[in-house]
Amino acid sequence: MPLTDMPLEALEEYRPAVREPEDFDEFWEKTLAAAGESPESLTGAEFRAVESPLRTLDVLNVRFPGWGGQPVAAWLVLPRGAAGPLPAVVSYVGYGGGRGLHTEHLLYASAGYAHLVVDSRGQGHATPDPDPVPTPQYVRGFMTLGAASPQDHYFRRLITDCARALDAVRAHPAVDPGRLVVQGHSQGGGLALAVAGLVGDGVAAALVDAPFLCHIRRGAETAFQGPYTEIAEFLGIHQGMPPETVLGTLDYFDGVHFAPRATAPALFSVGLMDPVCPPSTVFAAYNRYGTAGDAAPPHREISVWPYGDHAAGRHAQATEQFRWLGDRGIAPDRAPEEHPAPH
């Protein structure tokens, strides 16, 4: 996979002028407030134990109220026998996927963290997306689902679910509510960045790998593998819809606008040969991270993988994450190897 974007020296200085919606903060304040006002949203999260072949981890099947109080599925994976309360990693899932099977999510709990894996409505199989789409949809995917208005767009509902997931995981007695880490790769990275920007002090750290939904306008022009390509395909079909209508809608869900509002330390990653999320889209958000307001910006780092594609650092990035979280003081009080071994 060849280099198709800027050289690293240019990426490190890349701070494009971006058009932020004038009512961006008001839009999200009203959206999140409404999500907590429905009668369904007051029921709280439900945790049910799952039978599992795992010998060192406990698994709970979770339902919590998201957008409109609609139930969102998640897994909560806990180290068996660990002394709580534990720091928790809240993971969001890549594009087109859901929470999957609980046996797919062993890494963070094996390292001693509580781990909440959030399903993506309409993408996973456990959380439907019942809200209607008022715009024509002839393009497979979610980028243009509700493209005519930010109030109707799919990502308004999904990002709301992701923010509400923090309320859910705080409710479990094994979790330390002061040590919540948001994490994700690709779409999951974009969602983690959005939550970090929306929730502020409610997040202790953010792990943002090869994030999607960042500098969407540039992604639509430069990415040559989806999902950004859905935008051009949609506009090519719906010639009567002004491009600015679609792009203006997507501005409300763009990481370049969430990033400045974040206050938690963050570790990003990027692959310089990424055809899905071009490196310039990642650096556009990273270089703006934590820059809003008068306070000193939070600590941020980025792991650059020169020959990485959209997988960026792959599993090597996890080693960087655990080191980095330890340096921030966000580590389990008791190491996993101290747990009794199964017989």
Per the CB < 8 A criterion, the answer to whether 182 and 174 are in contact is no
Indicate whether 338 belongs to any domain. no
> Sorting pLDDT into bands at 50, 70 and 90, what band is 46?
very high
Residue 96 has pLDDT above 70, yes or no: yes
The helix (run of H) or strand (run of E) holding residue 73 is strand 71-79
pLDDT digits (tens, 9 = 90+) for 48-67: 999 999 999 999 999 999 99
Residue 340: is its pLDDT beyond 70?
Answer: no
Q: What is the pLDDT of residue 39?
A: 67
Please provide the average confidence, as pLDDT, over all residues in the chain: 93
Instruction: Please report the pLDDT score of residue 342 as a whole number.
Output: 41
3-state helix, strand, coil in the chain (%, to 5): 35, 20, 45
Q: Catalytic site residue 310?
A: yes
CATH number of the CATH domain containing 236: 3.40.50.1820
Tell me the pLDDT band of 82, cut-offs 50, 70 and 90. Answer: confident
Least confident of 77-86, 89-98, 318-327: 77-86
Distance of CA 218 to the CA centre of its chain: 20
Structure tokens given for 202: 């409610």
Domain-located, residue 120: yes
pLDDT for residue 74 is more than 90: yes
Q: Which residues contact 293 (CB under 8 A, 6 or more apart)?
A: none
Per-residue pLDDT band for 339 (boundaries 50, 70, 90) equals very low
Catalytic position from the list 5, 129, 167, 274: 274
* pLDDT one-digit tens code per residue, 239-295: 888 999 999 999 999 999 999 999 999 999 999 999 999 999 999 999 999 999 888
334 belongs to a structural domain: no
Task: Flag whether 341 is in a domain.
Answer: no
Whether residue 339 lies inside any domain: the answer is no
In percent, the amount of the chain with pLDDT more than 90 equals 85
Query: Between the ranges 34-48, 263-277, 293-307, where is the mean pLDDT highest?
Result: 263-277
Could you give the number of structural domains in the chain? Answer: 1
> What confidence tens digit (pLDDT) does each residue in 102-141 have?
999 999 999 999 999 999 999 999 999 998 777 777 688 9
Q: What is the mean pLDDT of residues 84-94?
A: 96
Confirm whether 335 is domain-assigned.
Answer: no
- Asked if residue 338 has pLDDT above 60, the reply is no
Q: Are 189 and 212 in contact (CB under 8 A)?
A: yes
8 Å CB contact between 203 and 166: yes
pLDDT band of residue 2 (cuts 50, 70, 90) is confident
Band the pLDDT of 153: cuts 50, 70, 90.
very high
pLDDT of residue 334: 57
Say if 91 falls within a structural domain.
yes
Residue 300: what pLDDT? Answer: 98
Q: Which residues contact 235 (CB under 8 A, 6 or more apart)?
A: 241, 243, 246
**Pick the catalytic residue: 41, 186, 269, 280?**
186
pLDDT at 41: 67
SS (H, E, C) 84-97: CCEEEEEEECCCCC
pLDDT value for 134: 73
pTM: 0.95
What range defines the domain where residue 15 resides? 8-325
pLDDT, residue 343, reads 35
Tell whether 206 is covered by a domain.
yes
